[in-house]
Amino acid sequence: MRSPISGYSRLSKVHKFSAAGIAAAGIAALTLAAVPGGSADAETQSIGVKPVAWSAHSFGGQEQQEQLGKQSDNAAKLAKTEAEAKKKADAEAKAKADKERAEKQAASRSEERKPVQAAPAPKTYANNLDGWIREALDVMKAKGIPGSYEGIKRNIMRESTGNPRAINNWDINAINGVPSKGLLQVIDPTFKAYHVEGTSWDIYDPVANITAACNYAADKYGSMDNVNSAY
């Protein structure tokens, strides 16, 4: 008598073998269906594989592409802005240079058109005692020799009464052979020693006589203003 358990075991094994055989047959059929020409020799035939389409979205790259696109647009906008700023700066620099050049040219033309000022006419003096004293004072001022109009005129009137050709032939100087001459009665050695550059070497010249005498008085008395008698 068979044991139920052992009988069940045998049936199960049979069933398993049957199922395995059916599965193997099914696989073989599928293999033959996939091979062109229906050949059963699977090892000598190539199995056709349908290519799979790829997309950036499938691999999560769409967002990266959009980000790169935005960065490219921003870079283009920045480059355009910088180019416009440089163009504007260049235009402003050119306008400034043109303006400066125009101003210089205008100034140059103005200088060219500017009339040349004539040199001031030389100062003139009357040919009389007043004119002689005034001219002598201008020379003395330029040379740093002190003296006033009043002090000079006072001494002239005492020494020669305003006669530029006056000569003293009777005093000690005349006796010694060097008479006093001119408006302020100057002897030749004194005139030569104190002659003022730029004036005549003629002792009888009014301006030369006055300036030499005042130069001598400044050296000996501080100024002709301090002389109140023969000197």
Which of 110, 140, 164 is the last residue in one of the domains?
110
Using CB atoms within 10 Å of the CB of residue 69, give its burial: 0 to 12 exposed, 13 to 18 middle, 19+ buried.
exposed
36 located within any domain = no
Interatomic CA distance for residues 164 and 183, integer angstroms: 5
Check whether residue 135 and residue 207 sit in a common domain. Answer: yes
Which pLDDT score is estimated for 111? 67
Same domain, 168 and 199: yes
Domain span including residue 94: 66-110
84-123 pLDDT per residue, tens = 888 888 888 898 988 888 888 888 776 666 666 777 788 9
Q: Do 145 and 204 belong together in one domain?
A: yes
Tell me, yes or no, whether 198 and 152 share the same domain. yes
Q: Token pair of 40, please?
A: 């059963």
Per the structure, the count of domains in the chain is 2
Please give the structure tokens belonging to residue 121. 């006419």
94 and 168 belong to one structural domain: no
Whether 147 and 225 have beta carbons less than 8 Å apart is answered as: yes
Can you point out the beta strands (E) in 2-146?
none
pTM as predicted? 0.51
Write down the pLDDT at residue 82: 86
- Is residue 173 assigned to a domain? yes
Provide the pLDDT for residue 14: 43
pLDDT of residue 59: 45
Q: What is the CATH number of the domain that holds 145?
A: 1.10.530.10
| Stretches in the chain below the pLDDT threshold 50 | 1-50, 52-60
- The residue whose two tokens read 């416009």 is 84
Residue partners of 125: CB distance under 8 A and separation at least 6? 131, 132, 134, 135
Say if residue 164 is in the same domain as residue 89: no
- On whether residue 88 sits in a domain, the answer given is yes
Same domain as 166, residue 135: yes
Question: 45 with 35: CB under 8 angstroms?
Answer: yes
> 23-51 pLDDT, tens per residue?
444 444 444 444 444 444 444 444 444 45
Look at residue 166 and tell me if it is in a domain: yes
The residue assigned the tokens 């009137």 is 157
Would residue 194 count as lying in a domain?
yes
SS3 181: strand
Based on the fold, state whether residues 134 and 221 are members of the same structural domain: yes
Q: What is the pLDDT of residue 68?
A: 77
160: left (phi over 0), alpha (psi -120 to 50) or beta: alpha
192 is a domain residue: yes
∠ CA 165-167-172, nearest 5°, is 165
- Residues in contact with 143: Cβ distance below 8 Å, sequence separation at least 6, in sequence order: 196, 197, 211, 215
